[in-house]
A and B are shown apart, each in its own frame.
Chain A
Amino acid sequence: MNAIEINNISKSFDDKTVLHDINLTVAKGEFISLLGPSGCGKTTLLRIIAGLELPDTGKIQTPANTFVDRATDEYLPVAKRKLSYVFQDYGLWPHMSVFDNIAFALTLQKMPKADIKKRVNEVLTLVKLVGHDDKLPEQLSGGQKQRVSIARAMAGSPDIMLLDEPLSNLDANLREELGKEIRELTHKQGITCVNVTHDRKEAQLLSDRIALMKDGVIHQLTDPVRLFKQPASKWACEFLDAGNLIEGHMIHRELGEWLVPRTAFKIENDNTDTRLSLHVDSCLFLDDRFEIAAWLANEKVFFYSEAPFDVGQNIFASLLEENLVSIKA
Chain B
Amino acid sequence: MSMYKVGKGVRAPLLLNTVSVTLLFMIIGLPVLAIILFAIFPKVNELSFAAPFSQFIPQLQDERLIVATLNSIRLALAVTFSSMLVAVVLAYMRSKMAESIGRMWDVLLLIPFLIPPYIGSMGWMQLLQSNGVLDQWLNINLSNVLFSFSGVVFVITLHLFPVIYFSAASSFKVIGQRYGDVAKIYGANSRQIFSRILLPLIVPTLLSTGLIVFVLTVEEFGTPNILGSRFGFQVMVTAIEEKMSDWPIDLSGASVLSLLLVVIAISAYLLQMFITRRFACKLDNQTMTSVPSKNVWFSMVSNVIFFIVVCLAVVMPIFAIVSSSLMRTVSLGLQWDNLTFNAYTHLFFSNSDALSAIYTSLGLAAMAAVITAIIGMLVAFTLIRLKPRGKAVLDILALLPNAIPAMALSVGLILTWNQTFWPVTPYNSLFILLLAYVCLMLPYPIRMLSNAMKQLPQSLDEAAAIYGANLFVLMYKILFPLMIPIMVASSCIVFAISTRELVASLMLVPAGTETVATYVFNQFDQGSISSGMAMSFIVIVISGALIALGQYMSKRYLS
Chain A positions near chain B (C-beta within 8 angstroms) = 50-54, 73, 75-81, 83-85, 87-95, 104-105, 108-109, 152, 156
* Secondary structure call for the B interface: helix
Bound Cα distance from A162 to B6, whole angstroms: 19
| Chain A residues closer than 8 Å to B10, beta-carbon distance | 77
Bound Cα distance from A91 to B8, whole angstroms: 26
Residues 8 to 44 of chain B near chain A (Cβ within 8 Å)? 8, 10
Say whether, besides A53-B3, A54-B2, A89-B459, A79 and B482 are in contact (CB < 8 Å).
no
Q: Which residue from chain A places its CB closest to the CB of B470 in the assembled complex? A: A79
Cβ-based interface call for B463 (8 A)? yes
Q: Which residue from chain A places its CB closest to the CB of B478 in the assembled complex? A: A93
Bound Cα distance from A75 to B8, whole angstroms: 7
Q: List 9 A-B contacts (CB under 8 A).
A: A52-B2, A53-B6, A75-B7, A75-B8, A76-B7, A78-B466, A91-B462, A108-B469, A152-B467
Contact B8 A104 (CB under 8 A): no
Cβ-based interface call for B457 (8 A)? yes
Cβ-based interface call for B512 (8 A)? no
| Chain A residues closer than 8 Å to B465, beta-carbon distance | 51-52, 77-79
| Chain B residues closer than 8 Å to A104, beta-carbon distance | 464, 467-469, 477
Q: Which residue from chain B places its CB closest to the CB of A50 in the assembled complex? A: B466
Interchain Cβ contacts within 8 Å, total number: 80
| Chain B residues closer than 8 Å to A76, beta-carbon distance | 7
**Shortest distance between the CB of A87 and any CB in chain B (Å):** 4
Cβ-based interface call for B1 (8 A)? yes
Contact A95 B462 (CB under 8 A): no
Contact A73 B473 (CB under 8 A): no
The 3 closest A-B pairs by CB, nearest first: A91-B459, A105-B467, A91-B463
**Shortest distance between the CB of A159 and any CB in chain B (Å):** 14
* Secondary structure call for the A interface: loop
Cβ-based interface call for B248 (8 A)? no
Q: Which residue from chain B places its CB closest to the CB of A101 in the assembled complex? A: B463
Residues 131 to 160 of chain B near chain A (Cβ within 8 Å)? none
Residues 471 to 506 of chain B near chain A (Cβ within 8 Å)? 473, 477-478, 481-482
| Chain A residues closer than 8 Å to B478, beta-carbon distance | 93
| Chain A residues closer than 8 Å to B463, beta-carbon distance | 85, 87, 91-93, 152
| Chain B residues closer than 8 Å to A105, beta-carbon distance | 467-468
Contact B469 A93 (CB under 8 A): no
**Shortest distance between the CB of A157 and any CB in chain B (Å):** 13
Say whether, besides A85-B462, A93-B463, A95-B482, A54 and B6 are in contact (CB < 8 Å).
yes
Q: Which residue from chain A places its CB closest to the CB of B9 in the assembled complex? A: A77
Residues 450 to 465 of chain B near chain A (Cβ within 8 Å)? 457, 459-460, 462-465
Q: When the two chains form the complex, which single residue of A53, A54, A94, A156 contacts B467, counting CB atoms closer than 8 Å?
A: A156
Contact B466 A77 (CB under 8 A): no
Bound Cα distance from A77 to B463, whole angstroms: 13
Contact B482 A94 (CB under 8 A): yes
| Chain A residues closer than 8 Å to B2, beta-carbon distance | 52-54
Q: When the two chains form the complex, which single residue of A53, A85, A95 contacts B481, counting CB atoms closer than 8 Å?
A: A95
Say whether, besides A75-B8, A91-B463, A51 and B469 are in contact (CB < 8 Å).
no
Say whether, besides A52-B2, A53-B3, A93 and B460 are in contact (CB < 8 Å).
yes
**Shortest distance between the CB of A75 and any CB in chain B (Å):** 5
| Chain B residues closer than 8 Å to A77, beta-carbon distance | 6-7, 10, 465, 470
Bound Cα distance from A165 to B154, whole angstroms: 59
